[in-house]
A and B are shown apart, each in its own frame.
Chain A
Amino acid sequence: MRTQLSIGIVGVLLLAAAATPVRGQNGAVRPLERLPDGQPNVQGVWGPVNGGSLSLTNPVPQAADFDKSIKPLPSRIIDPPDGKPPYQPWAAALQKQQNHYYAYPMRPEHIDTQHRCMLSGVPRLFTGIPSLRIFQTNGQIVLVWDTYHAYRVIPLDGRPHVAPNVKLYMGDSRGRWEGNTLIVDTRSVKGQRLTYIGDFYSENAQIMERFTWTDADNFTYEATITDPTVFTRPWTMRVAERRRPNEEMWESACYEGMTDPNKYLLKNAPPPPTQ
């Protein structure tokens, strides 16, 4: 458990740092530039203003524990209006159960996929603290994250999706620009966890992503998730993303199988909450 605890502590500190209000560098708003082919130039390094994938409904709760002047952030979920994932009853019960077992892992599936260094997929990686780098070349948008050796190549040429039976950890994405908004249709996902507290979607999910640039240094990421297996209706989450320093990305290899997450498993744990 020592490793897990230390990861948790580091995570809390990073979350607290990420939640600290950041003032503009010099207050100036830089307008969005254009590439020679007319696309907005959105290349560079980006990250969430408030990073953390603990929870969608209560993002970055730890910051308020350190500094009482910090108000809890609103839910990342902007639709439905109550800010909660519209689970079907069976799925709500499962999320609640998984939330409990996250702290008391008894079975392999209780361990969060991020602790196994598995790819977190779409949209979870947009909520995490590690940086995201965007490249625009050859009729495609390429996204590379600073962890998990995660990347996405998003064609902009309107080519067809892969067959629906193919499931990919980062999904299969096709993009197009509408003004300063990049719209990405992502299908063929694996069933994924969305947070440490057990939120999830199934492999039947389809995700419509909207990256909207307001200026050269800020964009809003929105993901509308449609998954009739798990939810009663489509729902939408939003994360504000901001430009970060243009630094080299160095190798981040996670565990590479060198650490067995199953060592986290407990022989005894409190019973799950009644449902």
Chain B
Amino acid sequence: MWLRLSRSTFALLVVLLVCAPLAAAQAPPSAIPRTPDGKPNFSGIWQALTTASWDIQDHGAQKGVPGGPGIVVGNEIPYQPAALARKKQNYAARATEDPVAKCYLPGIPRLVYMPHPFQIVQTPNELMMLFEFVHAVRFVFLSGQHPPGPIEWWLGDSRGRWEGDTLVVDAVHFNDQTWFDNAGNFHSEALHLVERFTFLDADHVQYDVRVEDPKVFTRPWDMRVILYRRKEPNAQLYDYECYAFDYEKYYPYPEMRTPQ
């Protein structure tokens, strides 16, 4: 019977099957926390429970690296041939060349799924994402346009809009210094992200990000991560001032370690 399906029907089925995993199981509107102006309220402390910061693709454990499923939808990243070679070079040199090993700002989207919590502060005009990792601050402006480039920022320029109860963020103006993970997956300064934040229920947010970079990939590809609300009583961010650790032996003054 199914063999008799018309070509167009078959194509539709394929599209549905491929897209089904991308459709968010959005929470019913009454279950979504809301701001006084009725928008979904993402304020709170969130954290991804994933090993994706080590490798966004499926990976087994190594010493110091927890194994786990990746977050790339379909698990394959469509590198151009030269870019794939570069990725392999990055992987071989990851112990020293991972920008996070050098304590650079990790970029977007990696900051979202690193194993540190982050806090969202939401107003009618913007969402601020305050990250525990190196105190990074990301603004998602809900108004205005991307400033004209070229601009190369670690965290890009982010402009958000509401599509129903989903926050859709368009991000450009990145530099080429950050990786998606410790496994050497990388991008160029042409990176363009479209991120979608969708409540699954009051304490879980599905984070979908579409990655476009015509200098590195043959086509756009997607990642998906669940963000969990930190519900411990009195939950708060501490800090992880990555590059400061190496300097702490100098500050405060060494003499102060032994009060006179």
Contacts and interface: CB of A to CB of B under 8 A. Distances in A.
Nearest to B247: A116
B137 A137 contact: no
B187 to A, nearest CB: 17
Contacts of A202: 252, 256, 259
Contact of B135 (A43, A170, A258): A170
A135 B247 contact: no
B46 to A, nearest CB: 14
Nearest to B154: A253
B26 interface: no
B119 interface: yes
Interface in B139-173: 139, 141, 144, 147, 153-155, 157
A197 to B, nearest CB: 14
B251 A113 contact: yes
Given A94-B253, A200-B252, A168 B239 contact: yes
Interface string B17-60: 00000000000000000001000000110000000000000000
Question: Which residue among A90, A116, A149, A192 has the maximum number of chain B CB atoms within 10 Å of its CB?
Answer: A149
Contacts of B250: 107-109
Interface stretch (B102-110, B204-212, B215-223): B102-110
Contacts of A130: none
Nearest to B126: A248
A168 B252 contact: no
Interface in A128-149: 135, 137-138, 142, 144, 148-149
Does more than half of chain B's interface fall in helix, strand or loop, or is it mixed? Answer: loop
Contact of A257 (B102, B122, B157, B239): B102
A86 interface: no
B111 to A, nearest CB: 11
Interface stretch (A7-15, A159-167, A218-226): A159-167
Interface in A94-131: 94, 98, 107-109, 113, 116-119
A193 interface: yes
B76 interface: no
Interface stretch (B8-16, B190-198, B230-238): B230-238
Contact of B234 (A159, A169, A191): A159
Nearest to A203: B252
Interface stretch (A18-26, A71-79, A150-158): A150-158
B260 interface: yes
Contact of A155 (B36, B44, B144, B236): B236
A144 B154 contact: no
Nearest to A255: B243
B200 interface: no
Contacts of A192: 252
The 3 A-B residue pairs with the shortest CB-CB distance, nearest first, are: A191-B252, A109-B250, A90-B260
A119 B135 contact: yes
Contact of A153 (B130, B141, B153, B157): B130
Interface in A239-261: 248-251, 253, 256-258
Question: Which residue among B104, B105, B157, B256 has the maximum number of chain A CB atoms within 10 Å of its CB?
Answer: B256
A142 B234 contact: no
Given A170-B239, A257-B243, A151 B256 contact: no
Does more than half of chain A's interface fall in helix, strand or loop, or is it mixed? Answer: loop
A153 B119 contact: yes
B33 to A, nearest CB: 10
A119 B241 contact: yes
A84 B234 CA distance: 38
A269 B122 CA distance: 51
B232 to A, nearest CB: 12
A137 B256 contact: no
A149 B253 contact: no
A249 B139 contact: yes
A88 interface: yes
A43 B121 CA distance: 13
B251 A153 contact: no
Given A137-B121, A191-B252, A229-B259, A153 B237 contact: yes
Contact of B241 (A90, A91, A118, A160): A118
A169 B244 contact: yes
B154 A251 contact: yes
A108 B246 CA distance: 11
15 contacts: A88-B260, A90-B255, A98-B253, A116-B244, A118-B244, A118-B251, A119-B135, A119-B244, A135-B121, A138-B43, A151-B130, A151-B137, A191-B251, A193-B252, A250-B157
B52 to A, nearest CB: 22
B136 interface: yes
B77 interface: no
B254 interface: yes
